[in-house]
Structure 1
Amino acid sequence: MAHIHLSIIEDEETVRESLADFLSAQADFVVHSVAESVETFLALQRGTSPEILLLDINLPGMSGLEGIHLIQKKHPNLDIIMLTSFEEEEHVFEALRRGAVGYLSKRSPLVMVREAIQTVAAGGSFMSPSIARHVVNFFRFRQRVNNPDVELTDRQKEILQGLVDGKSYKMIADACGITLETVRDHIKKIYKKLQINSKGELVSMILGNRL
């Protein structure tokens, strides 16, 4: 069995230990390193790099958002999943704009964290129900300002609605009559459509979306 090598950056000790204990117990996971800050993570890394990183935003020293660039510069093949208590739209989209491939709330069940890691390891992107609601609102706003470049296909809308309704990727695949890999591919394409070209556009989108 191929193992997925993980690292965790989380400053809350109880959360950090809970994640490390749960993920270490999974047969296909290897917890590569655990750190309480971006600075510590970068200093710890020697030899083989992890494949996936769970990254918090609110950290001592450099924030998780600030650290994405440095982390990816040192580990260009590392996929980053944000795992944070911040669920506001600006944090979600800023993390995705900077290169994260998934965004989870710390309130997510551990089994969902496991599913997110497995999805990303398989080449997809992961989106939790709470984040899917933000994405739906974003595209509704875009439709109001008639920006065809970021419109969703009917299938992508169907998948997003399934996520909002709390369905798993497998349940969505079964309901739509498509494969699990196709669902993952659609989520990745939705994330690509969310890429914001400038901070100014991001701010405008957020402010406009709240009017």
Structure 2
Amino acid sequence: MIKVMLVDDHTVLRDGIRSILDIEEDLLLVGEADSGESLMKVLDTTIPDVIVLDINLPNKNGIELISPIKEKHPGCKILILTMFDHDEYFKSALREGADGYLLKDASSMEVIDAIRKIHQGNSIIHPKMASKLISYHRLQNDYSNQENELTNREKEVLNQLVRGKSNKEIAAHLSISDKTVKIHVNKIYKKLNVNSRSQAIIYAVQNKLVPYLN
């Protein structure tokens, strides 16, 4: 059972997601909050697996809450669900440690699928934001020396990470085992000096370690 917490100051949105979660047998809503202050209070007594977090909140915005959430509950995954498609919001959220970034035009099932995938350790990026990253990537001129440290296979795995693929999907695509993919991912983290898929993704795109996406 995946324990989910909703953080949004719009009651209508929370009501909508709550009604969807109630239908899914593997998802359990364990808490709600309408501000950063109320969220941190709830987290004193509740430990969710995944927090669906808005950016536009009273007092502190969602991006400012990512680090405190991770400090309080390091194993908790964070899915940003927002109306903001600004580059800086997106990149800041990933830098802070968000595990996924969806826009509110995503369908209800896309949100549910994202919750499941980030709980499994994958990163989810809204297609529009992925395109923005690639556009940013095309404008940069500096290449990272880290590219030379990655093997060809690690580059292939990293490319699939940027595309939002799970370990199982990467294994099938490259015709290797899930265990081998995990080994490659851990080596990539070490070489790029990152701690999560989201950090690896934004590092890879900003430093031109992956080819353009089609």
Question: The TM-score by the shorter chain falls in which range?
Answer: 0.7 to 0.9
Amino acid at match of 2:202: L
Q: Deviations over 1:150-173 (max 9, x none)?
A: 69935654675x67xxxx879x76
User: How many pairs does the alignment contain?
Assistant: 188
Distance in 1 of aligned mates of 2:177 and 2:77: 20
Q: CA deviation at 1:176?
A: 3.6
Contact between 2:49 and 2:75, CA under 8 Å: does it hold in 1? yes
Match of 1:206 in 2: none
Distance in 1 of aligned mates of 2:157 and 2:203: 20
Distance in 2 of aligned mates of 1:51 and 1:139: 32
Correspondence for 1:123 among 105, 121, 124: 121
- State the TM-score, normalizing by the size of structure 1: 0.73
Q: CA deviation at 1:191?
A: 3.7
Identity of counterpart residues, as a percentage?
Answer: 25
Amino acid at match of 2:89: H
Greater Cα offset, 120-129 or 43-52: 43-52
**Counterpart of 1:108 in 2: which secondary structure?**
coil
Distance in 2 of aligned mates of 1:94 and 1:159: 19
**Counterpart of 1:123 in 2: which secondary structure?**
coil
Match of 2:49 in 1: 51
**Counterpart of 1:103 in 2: which secondary structure?**
strand
Q: CA deviation at 1:149?
A: 3.2
Match of 2:146 in 1: 149
Contact between 2:95 and 2:199, CA under 8 Å: does it hold in 1? no
Amino acid at match of 1:149: Q
Q: Structure 2 stretches of 5 or more lacking a match?
A: 149-153, 189-195, 207-214
Q: Are the structure 2 counterparts of residues 155 and 43 from structure 1 closer, same or farther at C-alpha, using a change threshold of 3 Å? A: closer
Match of 1:66 in 2: 64
Q: Structure 1 stretches of 5 or more lacking a match?
A: 197-201, 203-211
Q: CA deviation at 1:73?
A: 2.1
Match of 1:88 in 2: 86
Q: CA deviation at 1:178?
A: 5.2
Match of 2:200 in 1: 192
Distance in 2 of aligned mates of 1:53 and 1:23: 13
**Counterpart of 2:138 in 1: which secondary structure?**
helix
**Counterpart of 2:129 in 1: which secondary structure?**
helix
- State the TM-score, normalizing by the size of structure 2: 0.73
Distance in 1 of aligned mates of 2:6 and 2:34: 8
Q: CA deviation at 1:189?
A: 4.4
Amino acid at match of 1:153: K
Contact between 1:169 and 1:180, CA under 8 Å: does it hold in 2? no
Contact between 2:6 and 2:33, CA under 8 Å: does it hold in 1? yes
Distance in 2 of aligned mates of 1:146 and 1:139: 10
Matches within 5 A, 1:1-211: 3-142=1-140, 144-149=141-146, 153-154=155-156, 156-157=158-159, 176=173, 189=197, 191-195=199-203
Amino acid at match of 1:4: I
What's the C-alpha RMSD, in Å, of the aligned pairs?
3.4
Contact between 1:20 and 1:34, CA under 8 Å: does it hold in 2? no
Contact between 2:122 and 2:197, CA under 8 Å: does it hold in 1? no
Q: Are the structure 2 counterparts of residues 76 and 158 from structure 1 closer, same or farther at C-alpha, using a change threshold of 3 Å? A: closer
Match of 1:208 in 2: none
